[in-house]
Amino acid sequence: MPGTPTLVTVLSMNLAWLVLLALPIEFLPSKYDGMPRCEEIKAAAPADRAAAVAAVRKCTGLDWADREEIRIRFQDASSDPEAAKGARMALRRTEVLEGREIVAITLFWEYLMTGQADAREEITHEYVHAVHRLNVPRERYLATPRWVREGLALHVAGQGPARVRWILQDRIEAGPDALVDGLEPSGRGHDQRDYAEDWLAFRYIEEEHGAERLRAVMRDLIAGRRDWQDAVRTHTGEDAESFVGKARSHARGTVRAIEGGVREELLPWLSRARDPAADAGETVTGLREFLRRRPDAYCAPRARLALAEAELARGEVAAARAGFLELLSRYPEEVADADAARFGLVRCAEAAGDSAAEARERAALERDYPLSRHRRDTGSVEPAAGRGGGDEEE
């Protein structure tokens, strides 16, 4: 009889309900539902969670990393007013569910769909914080310096090298030494720029004392067995003061080596690109030459964006459009201002007098970049600088 549930249907509905309750992964309704990339990310989520658990185990030697109290939720940033307060890739909250403390990690679809964030990396990063949080009382967790918490998460998630390159590019005017201003033992004054140095302190332990000792330090930290000074002293023999000093000079050397003097070549062209009195033709030629010589430089996306902007200013619309498209496909994670490339496509369509394309590009901008300053409807929402937020919980 149509409309009457059979016994099998009722059973499977109940089973599905039970499975959903037990599943540590939840997908809230999204504007991207049904799109191939969205469905691929959903299908990969259980494997991504398993990879996060495996990474924590590998880096710490702890075998109890698979915590049922850690829930992962996917939702649209545009549906969460909390998310709109800062440019967050992910958010983590401690909640009480049926009398139990759980840690809920929320990933935002917009960043995953545009490629600004990688689901596996974000899940692993937040998973490290969550395991750490579950192992130590709240007050002690919050008293742990940010550099310790972030360095741990970046190292386990394998995000360190890319993060250093990204921050170097984002702060190219300030230069590499500005990334290394000392660890903040008190936790005060820590900002997005400090993530590079946070990770490099862990890298220092690995390079100076070996992977085994680093693993021991990380195990003690994440298990809440020792504070950082005690963990470092026990496993490396260095006292806190000596460690902070040595980690700093190691970080400075590493960052300078990655920078490699490339900024000296690019900075004059970036400042010309901003100067309305400069010859735009020369700027275009200079930036093209830079990219020909340094296609893989950490700051290539910055150069590519400046070049596309200069081409558009000169009326070379087709070349500018190709540049903005290349930025979105080749460097989705690295463009400091990813929405600027998308907005560039809106302006290219406008310059070409193609109003249908302009409307299409604008709709994509509004859908994918809810915090963009280039949106028409939310001029009041200022995106926070940097990435990898979501660590300000509790």
| Sites of contact with Zn ion (CB under 5 A) | 150, 153, 391
Q: Is the CB of 311 or the CB of 391 nearer to Zn ion?
A: 391
Residue of 283, 340, 326 whose CA lies nearest to 307 = 283
Closest contact distance (angstroms) between CB of 146 and Zn ion is 9
Closest contact distance (angstroms) between CB of 128 and Zn ion is 8
Q: Is the CB of 104 or the CB of 348 nearer to Zn ion?
A: 104
Residue of 198, 195, 160, 157 whose CA lies nearest to 60 = 157
Burial code (b: 16+ CB inside 10 Å, e: under 16) for 221-254 equals bbbbebbbeebbbebbebeeeebbebbbebbbeb
Q: Is the CB of 358 or the CB of 391 nearer to Zn ion?
A: 391
Closest contact distance (angstroms) between CB of 113 and Zn ion is 21
Residue 268 is encoded by which pair of tokens? 């004059």
Q: Which residues contact 125 (CB under 8 A, 6 or more apart)?
A: 90, 153, 154, 156, 157, 159, 388
Q: Is the CB of 89 or the CB of 266 nearer to Zn ion?
A: 89
Q: Is the CB of 222 or the CB of 305 nearer to Zn ion?
A: 222
Q: Is the CB of 71 or the CB of 321 nearer to Zn ion?
A: 71
Closest contact distance (angstroms) between CB of 153 and Zn ion is 4
- Whether residue 303 contacts residue 266, with contact meaning beta carbons closer than 8 Å, is answered with yes
Q: Is the CB of 153 or the CB of 232 nearer to Zn ion?
A: 153
Closest contact distance (angstroms) between CB of 129 and Zn ion is 6
Closest contact distance (angstroms) between CB of 359 and Zn ion is 38
Closest contact distance (angstroms) between CB of 337 and Zn ion is 21
- Whether residue 252 contacts residue 177, with contact meaning beta carbons closer than 8 Å, is answered with yes
Q: Is the CB of 165 or the CB of 263 nearer to Zn ion?
A: 165
Residue of 67, 79, 70 whose CA lies nearest to 28 = 79
> Cα(63)–Cα(61) distance, rounded to whole angstroms?
6
Question: How far from chain centre, in Å, is Cα 375?
Answer: 22
Q: Which residue's Cβ lies closest to Zn ion? A: 391
Q: Is the CB of 157 or the CB of 303 nearer to Zn ion?
A: 157
Q: Is the CB of 70 or the CB of 153 nearer to Zn ion?
A: 153
Closest contact distance (angstroms) between CB of 185 and Zn ion is 18
Closest contact distance (angstroms) between CB of 72 and Zn ion is 15
Closest contact distance (angstroms) between CB of 144 and Zn ion is 12
Strands 90-97 and 100-108, by their bridges, are antiparallel
